[in-house]
């Protein structure tokens, strides 16, 4: 039984799929896909940056489906910053 469902992207996630248009020797990317970034995350990253570069934390998972074969899913977040602990001495 096939389901006809529309994909609803989650904020700050994306997917990468094999680029079927790539030919041997050309300069096309191996994988292509999209990211869906929340405007709040983008604003926070820009407002908290200390220079012209913005660091992101990326997590990636390998997946497989009958329809598209192997692909990668990912999420992006602000980098983890270890909190400064108040030492008792």
**Reduced DSSP (H G I as helix, E B as strand, rest coil) percent helix, strand, coil of the chain, to 5:** 10, 35, 55
Tokens of 69: 């074969």
Per-residue model confidence as pLDDT tens digits over 1-52: 444 567 788 999 999 999 989 888 889 999 999 999 999 998 988 888 888 8
pLDDT for the residue 5? 65
Q: Which residues make beta-bridge pairs with 71? A: 17, 63
pLDDT for the residue 80? 84
Model confidence, pTM: 0.71
pLDDT for the residue 82? 83
SS (H, E, C) 15-29: EEEECCCCCCCCCCC
């Amino acid at each position: 039984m096939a389901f006809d469902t529309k994909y609803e992207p989650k904020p700050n996630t994306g997917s990468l799929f094999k680029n079927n248009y790539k030919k041997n020797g050309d300069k096309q990317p191996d994988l292509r896909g999209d990211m869906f970034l929340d405007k709040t995350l983008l604003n926070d990253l820009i407002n908290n940056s200390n220079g012209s570069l913005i660091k992101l934390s990326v997590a990636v998972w390998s997946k497989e489906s009958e329809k598209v074969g192997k692909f990668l899913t990912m999420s992006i977040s602000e980098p983890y910053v270890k909190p400064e602990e108040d030492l008792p001495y």
